[in-house]
Structure 1
Amino acid sequence: MNIKTVSCSPLFVALALLSAPVANAQETSVEETDIQSVEEAAVDPKTQACLMEKMNQAKGADLVSQLRDECAVEVNGPKDTSNQGAISKRIIGERETAYNPYVITPHRMNYILPVTVTDSINRQEYKDSVPESKWAENIEETEAKYQLSIKVPLSYDDIFTEGDEIYFGMTLQSWWQVYSEGISKPFRETNYRPEVYYITGLDWHPLEGNTGLMFGFEHQSNGRSNAISRSWNRIYVDFLFEKGDFAFSFKPYYRLKEDEKEILDDGSYDPDGDDNPDINDYMGYFDLGVAYQYNNLEFFAQGRANFATHKAGLEVGMTFPLWGKLKGYVQYYGGYGESLIDYDHKQNRLGIGIALTDIL
């Protein structure tokens, strides 16, 4: 098995590494390769003849590895892809453009929800933290929400196992008070989530599926200061499983401790220290996610819980075809922790809009 990465996924990005090699950024191009080296590398006469023919027809920037793969299919037939799940197929497609400077590779979902409605907007937080502002009484329960998420590889060769890799990912999620009248339509909350993670496959195939592991570090903050500043740092292990059109993720994490925040002599908060020491009470110690494709529809759910405090949060979504690459997207969130400013605030939110990329 050759795994090489969800976030996926958000969570499932890593799973797709289960099946296929990717062109190395340091691979040799046709213009850098002479005929003798090709003859020496291609031992099989049929493959050698095919490769020589393609070399004569190829453009200088074409990678020799790509031509070799094409010849392998022509001579030996297509590879057996019966064990590839939906995530594997997605990442294999992403690898084909991974080193194209004009292509941005998605990490978690990318979407725009022009309309979301909540049954409990978090006015109290702004009333307590910024009493002089007009936010509390003018925040609307209807707002827009979007998420942008990309990743780039940081390694180009096998590290510990065949096909393993290190990635840097960045996810930005924002809630926009575009329908408010009493304030200047501000972004109520924006969460920034950079992370570095290692992904490898496992030679374990329960239920005839594929498995993989991610190990990562992520920081998440809302970029605010003083009383409405929120942030935390986590290290995590993510176990991933896929079979056909189904994917599963179990991601336990450990929050790195911070110093206790102090109140300064002037009554303001020390910028250093822990902004939200009780966040685990509401966000728990793990994420659990599932995704499934059915024809042109995709369903997913991601949840977390702290069983000791009985606090939990659940996000459920569905995408459906619209036109071209665009898909319709319906999202529901219920419970605590939709955003960092709302980590200790319970609500139900429903939104509809457009998905630019799916999970699977």
Structure 2
Amino acid sequence: MRNICMLLVAWLYCYGMHAQIIDKPNTPHYNADSIRDELDKGPYFTLFKDNYFIGGTSIGHKPTKQNSDVKFQISISQRLTKSKLPFNSFLFIEYTQKAFWNVFEKSLPMVDLNFNPGIGLGHLIIHQNRYIGKAGILIEHESNGKDSIYSRSWNRITFSGALLIEKNLEIQFKTWIPIIDGENNKDILKYCGIAQLATSYISENQRWGFTTILTKRSGWNLNFNTILEFNFRLFPKENQYFFVQYYNGYGECLLDYNKFRSRLRIGFVIKPRNFSNY
């Protein structure tokens, strides 16, 4: 693990680092000046990950008020600098909040809120004046804000990279160095994983897309948490999509990170421009 992390650090040093910025896979030709211009002209405040509101129930079981819920996520980022740092990189902060809401139970309780702030360094990767991907390093914290036996928290130094296979297909990879400070989740890597691989496809007219996200849990066996997502743009000129998400595995929420879930949810999503972060 140590050797892998050292290689990732070296790779990131050579190619620069990523945050949410204006991605332009459909206009891939750049020169040194245009790279800086794209960064500096881009919005400082933007979406970071998908922002969605979805509801559903367990797969393979009769729907009940205990295994049916609403899940929603809010994710934003703010660029703190222009592209004046080494490799035209820039500093940014991000905040993601994920909620699990039992709307079918009495009093409609919020079962778990997961808070995920972070600070990172980002940059596009350009090779021979062509956009080929992005990479990043992010220091992040995640907790559920509860106390006593219900408290869950951990910190990560996350290394991420993305490769544009073609203008409509991207592969993302990230891994992390965990710093586990939560007393009640010392075994969190067994369930929330040590690395993640995501593949995203966007149709030629950008009307629909499909994503697969695999999170490798710790251990030498092939144990993955799996997310399958499908989105369809409802109106051609609006950034609102019909959204279907299927989750299968552990670690969906921090409170019950060690409990298995297989849930299908449907709703809507607001996406960052072009490819999302995962």
The TM-score by the shorter chain falls in which range? Answer: 0.7 to 0.9
Return closer, same or farther for 1:253/1:120 CA change in 2, 3 Å cut-off.
farther
CA contact (8 A) 2:17 2:137 kept: no
Structure 1 gaps, min length 5: 7-12, 20-79, 85-91, 122-137, 259-272
Structure 2 gaps, min length 5: 1-14, 31-37
Give the C-alpha shift of residue 202 in structure 1.
Answer: 3.5
Identify the match of residue 212 of structure 2 among 293, 296, 301: 301
The structure richer in helix per residue is 1
In 1, Cα distance between the equivalents of 2:220 and 2:255? Answer: 22
Give the aligned partner of residue 179 of structure 2. 256
Give the aligned partner of residue 325 of structure 1. 239
In 2, Cα distance between the equivalents of 1:309 and 1:346? Answer: 17
CA contact (8 A) 2:18 2:137 kept: no
In 1, Cα distance between the equivalents of 2:110 and 2:60? Answer: 17
Matches within 5 A, 1:136-155: 140-155=66-81
In 2, Cα distance between the equivalents of 1:311 and 1:232? Answer: 21
Give the C-alpha shift of residue 165 in structure 1.
Answer: 1.2
The structure richer in strand per residue is 2
CA contact (8 A) 1:292 1:299 kept: yes
Return closer, same or farther for 1:291/1:342 CA change in 2, 3 Å cut-off.
same
Q: Which of these two proteins has the greater Rg computed from alpha carbons? A: 1
Return closer, same or farther for 1:95/1:314 CA change in 2, 3 Å cut-off.
farther
| Pair 1:170-2:82 in alignment | no
Give the aligned partner of residue 313 of structure 1. 225
Code of the residue aligned with 1:239 in structure 2: it is: G
In 1, Cα distance between the equivalents of 2:108 and 2:173? Answer: 38
Q: How many residue pairs were aligned? A: 244
Give the aligned partner of residue 106 of structure 1. 47
In 2, Cα distance between the equivalents of 1:107 and 1:202? Answer: 18
Give the aligned partner of residue 118 of structure 1. 58
| Pair 1:246-2:204 in alignment | no
Return closer, same or farther for 1:246/1:278 CA change in 2, 3 Å cut-off.
same
CA contact (8 A) 1:120 1:347 kept: no
Question: Which TM-score applies when normalising by structure 1?
Answer: 0.61
Question: 1:325-347 CA distances to partner (integer Å, 9 max, x unpaired)?
Answer: 32100000001111112221111
Give the C-alpha shift of residue 311 in structure 1.
Answer: 3.7
Q: Aligned-pair RMSD on alpha carbons?
A: 2.9
CA contact (8 A) 2:18 2:161 kept: no
Question: Which TM-score applies when normalising by structure 2?
Answer: 0.78
Matches within 5 A, 1:45-56: none
In 1, Cα distance between the equivalents of 2:242 and 2:187? Answer: 36
